[in-house]
Amino acid sequence: MKAVIWKGRKTVGVGEVADPEILEPTDAIVRVTSTAICGSDMHLYDVLAPAMHPGEILGHEAMGIVEQTGPEVTGIAPGDRVVVPFNIACGACWMCERGLMSQCETTQQQTDEGKGGMLFGYTSMYGGVPGGQAELLRVPQAQYGPVKVPANGYADERFLFLSDILPTAWQGVRYADVREGDTVAVLGLGPVGQFCCRVAAYLGAGAVIGVDTVPERLALARRWGVDVIDTDRTDEVDAAVRERTGGRGADAVIDAVGMEAHGSPVRKWLQQRADLLPEPLGSEVAESIGVDRLDAMMTAFTIVRRGGTVSIVGVYTGEADPVPMGELFDKGLTVRMGQCNVKRWIDEIWPALIDEADPLGTEDLTSHRLPLDEAERGYKLFDKQKDGCIKVVLQP
């Protein structure tokens, strides 16, 4: 089959690899019909390159048609149309029972890396499971993971984003503890940030402020009723948010940027040095030194009001990042974060998905639909935010 393969820093390509097979009784094989490129793939593309191995199959946002199921998979059958959550979770362990599928103890123990549960297409740190940017996907824990969706009547994109970015945004808003009428600021208007804005409004926010610098992303957010601020400079964002909130700051701030924030050339330099070191050392540097670019997170702490909540959705991997504890303590902030627990939110999101009016605009996000063969171009467009690129969906 064809699959998108990581070849080296900032180099991916479509290659021919062996078809996946059922290896465990709880596996399924899905023939992928749509698979998206995510901001999280861009970390692997660039700053997390030291953790990658050439030949790894990328991708964790996929849906398609079930082709085969192992004997212990009873909830889905060949022919079913399914979305595959990016967490690989058992649904039955202590963590899964508490809605923490990203920490699934069954799949975590299979990796031995001291990380959370397994993820599709996300390095050996998360199980080294081949990803979904491919014609076929082996889905472990398929007795629990895949979400069955209506066979027809809807375009793939109505459901595709259930694999990751829609529940991720939903969790981001829930973790932000948004109350009726609150002012929510969303940093970063990539695909995740766009959904954070829409979900915040849908769940009752009184005002949504969005921050980015990319014109097409600002325009899309504006079209969805977001009050946009066009800058990534903390002092300017702070002034603009205070002006809109009677000087107090936003009730909740969602960081939908993560470790690759604009600005701070020194930190960028440090990140690149990690990649030039011998591989084991480089990998250690990328993981263990505080090399994240913290501009978005720091901005979040600045613009949130006293007693407010910061919800961090963007990914960070540094282990020694400086955090302004004095500011957090004095302002009395609540900070929540983490990988999305996809299946925890499906039931809450479902009514919006099958609503004719598409209130979350699942069909109003994708800027580029490309054949899988053009994955390389898709990665470049998304990386450079060229050609109005907001979300790329690949069709095998």
Ligand X SMILES: NC(=O)c1ccc[n+]([C@@H]2O[C@H](COP(=O)([O-])OP(=O)(O)OC[C@H]3O[C@@H](n4cnc5c(N)ncnc54)[C@H](O)[C@@H]3O)[C@@H](O)[C@H]2O)c1
Residue pair 240/298 in contact by the 8 Å Cβ criterion: no
Q: Does 313 bind ligand X (CB under 6 A)?
A: yes
Dihedral, 48, 261, 176, 180 alpha carbons, nearest 10 = -140
Task: Please tell me the distance from the alpha carbon of residue 200 to that of residue 207, in angstroms, as a whole number.
Answer: 9
Which of 193, 249, 378, 396 is in the footprint of ligand X by CB under 6 A? Answer: 193
CB of 16 to ligand X, least distance (A): 28
Which residue in the set 139, 189, 218, 221 belongs to the binding site for ligand X (CB under 6 A)? 189
User: Which of ligand X, Zn ion, none lies near 295, with the C-beta cut-off 5 to 8 A by kind?
Assistant: ligand X
Sole window of 106-114, 198-206, 242-250, 251-259 interacting with ligand X (rule: CB under 6 A) = 251-259
88 binds, among Zn ion, ligand X, none (CB under 5 to 8 A by kind): none
- The type of residue at 168 is T
User: If binding is defined by CB under 6 A, does position 295 make contact with ligand X?
Assistant: yes
Residue nearer to Zn ion on the CB measure, 38 or 82: 38
Assign 3-state DSSP to the chain and report helix, strand, coil percentages, each to 5: 35, 25, 40
137 binds, among Zn ion, ligand X, none (CB under 5 to 8 A by kind): none
Q: How far apart are CA 12 and CA 211, in angstroms?
A: 30
DSSP state for residue 39 in the 8-state scheme: H
CA angle 164, 169, 174 (to 5 degrees): 125
Positions 142 through 171 that interact with Zn ion (CB under 5 A): 164
Q: How crowded is residue 245: how many other Cβ atoms within 10 Å of its Cβ? A: 17
Distance CA 90, CA 118 (A): 10
Among 29, 93, 166, 342, binds Zn ion (CB under 5 A): 93
**Residue 363 C-beta: closest distance to ligand X, Å:** 18
The size of the interface with ligand X (CB under 6 A), counted in residues, is: 34
Long-range Cβ contacts of 198-204 (<8 Å, 24+ apart): 198/169, 198/224, 198/359, 198/360, 198/361, 199/166, 199/169, 199/170, 199/172, 199/173, 199/360, 200/173, 200/176, 200/254, 201/225, 202/352, 202/359, 202/360, 203/173, 203/174, 203/178, 204/178, 204/179, 204/180
C-beta of 39: minimal distance to ligand X in Å?
A: 2
Region near ligand X per CB under 6 A, out of 15-23, 121-129, 142-150, 212-220? 212-220
Residue 63, contacted partner among ligand X, Zn ion, none, CB below 5-8 A by kind:
none
Q: Show contacts with ligand X in window 118-177 (CB under 6 A).
A: 164-165, 168
Q: Does 141 bind Zn ion (CB under 5 A)?
A: no
Write out the residues near Zn ion by the rule CB under 5 A. 38, 40, 89-90, 93, 96, 104, 106, 164
Write out the residues near ligand X by the rule CB under 6 A. 38-40, 42-43, 164-165, 168, 187-193, 211-214, 217, 232, 256-258, 261-263, 295-296, 313-315, 339-340
